[in-house]
Structures are given as structure tokens and as C-alpha cells.
Chains A and B, each alone.
Chain A
């Protein structure tokens, strides 16, 4: 079974630039999540999708972050414009509907904002 795919693995940008991350969840997983993990901290949920719809985006900084999940499969997370404090690993995860405690994570995208 293929795992959660994320790209790119690494990204270095300057502040005020924009960046986008892509995620392909495990086939059949209805729920998709984007997490932000700052060095030395646990993952923090940014947004949760159930199929195409947003379930929770309460911690997403909506003035600069946006996310979409077209056709209920792949998802893209965008930051525009980036700030220094956005430097983190951005993790995508997926789960079966009704099993939201059992997340499967991708390897993440390491973002450095200079």
C-alpha cells in the first residue's frame, strides 16, 4: 500500500515570497490534514478536510495560508506571503473516515524562510 506522498521535500524561500506544497493521500482515505511542526514542538493542525469540505481550519492563518482539496483526493497548501516564523516542517496526513485518531503521515516538506 502506497503511503502519503508529499512534495517538495525541501524548500528555501525569502520572506514575502510565496510557496506551495502538494499532498497525495492514501487511496480511499476521505480525511486529509495539514499540520505544521516547528522544530522542537509537536505537530499543530492547520486544516482538516473531509472529502472536498473543510472540517476544521480554526488554526489556519487565513491572511496568508490557503488550502484546497480538489475532487476529494490531492491537496495543496499555499503560503503567500511567507514570514520568517513560517519556517517549519509541513506534514500532510490522511485517515479513513471515522478513524481520525489513526493518522498516516507523509514525510513532510521542510520549509526555510530566509
Chain B
């Protein structure tokens, strides 16, 4: 069983829509949860970082962690074409384990 599983997508949404991205993980001991954004032909960049359960908001981005369900989510409000990228969830168990990524396209 993989440590983290991510909805494969791809997702295509119109500009202004809410984007919802999800991952599940296997080990309930994980404490740190990250979302990275990767543009085409670029390395991933850290977008959101949360510790333990709850919500974290940063501008149009909201990260949620539900430890009871071992489920993490990223929401993008008022999506823009510049949000078109691959989004990778990651968990920290002394080393980062990444999901496979979900490619999002925001249509103008």
C-alpha cells in the first residue's frame, strides 16, 4: 500500500470555479502535510504546509486535514488560468512521500 494516494485527475474547470483536490494516507502517525504546486518543466514549489488536523487558509487557498479519516484536501477559490499546474500532496514521515499529482487546467 502506498503511503499517500492522490486522485489522478486531470481536472479542467472554468475560470472562477472552486477547485477541490484530495489525498488519502495510510499511517495515522503522520503529522505534517504539504501541498506542492508544479508548473510544466519546473520543480515543485511549496504551496501550503499544515501540522496536525484542521484548516489553514492562505489567500485563495485552503488546506484541510482530517486525521480521523486520514484525508487531506486543497481548495482553490476563484481559480485563475495561472493556477493551471500539477498539484502534489505530500506527507512527512522523516522523509517526504509525494502523491502522484493532479493536473489542473483552468480555462479562461
Contact = CB atoms under 8 A, between A and B. Distances in A.
Q: Do A and B come from one complex?
A: yes
B49 A102 contact: yes
Nearest to B32: A101
Interface stretch (A11-19, A42-50, A65-73, A79-87): A42-50
A42 B49 contact: no
B41 A107 contact: yes
Given A41-B100, A101-B34, A91 B92 contact: no
A104 B49 CA distance: 13
A91 B43 CA distance: 7
Given A42-B99, A42-B100, A101 B92 contact: yes
Interface string A9-51: 0000000000000000000000000000000111111001000
A93 interface: yes
Interface residues of A, number: 21
Chain A contact residues: helix, strand, loop or mixed: loop
A101 B41 contact: no
Interface string B25-67: 0000000101010000111111001000000000000000000
Interface string B69-108: 0000000000000000000101010111111110000000
A6 to B, nearest CB: 8
Nearest to B33: A101
Contact of A4 (B43, B90, B95): B43
Contacts of A106: 43
Contacts of B41: 107, 110
15 contacts: A41-B101, A42-B88, A42-B100, A43-B44, A45-B95, A48-B95, A93-B43, A101-B49, A102-B46, A103-B44, A103-B96, A104-B45, A105-B43, A107-B41, A108-B43
Interface of B: 6, 32, 34, 36, 41-46, 49, 88, 90, 92, 94-101
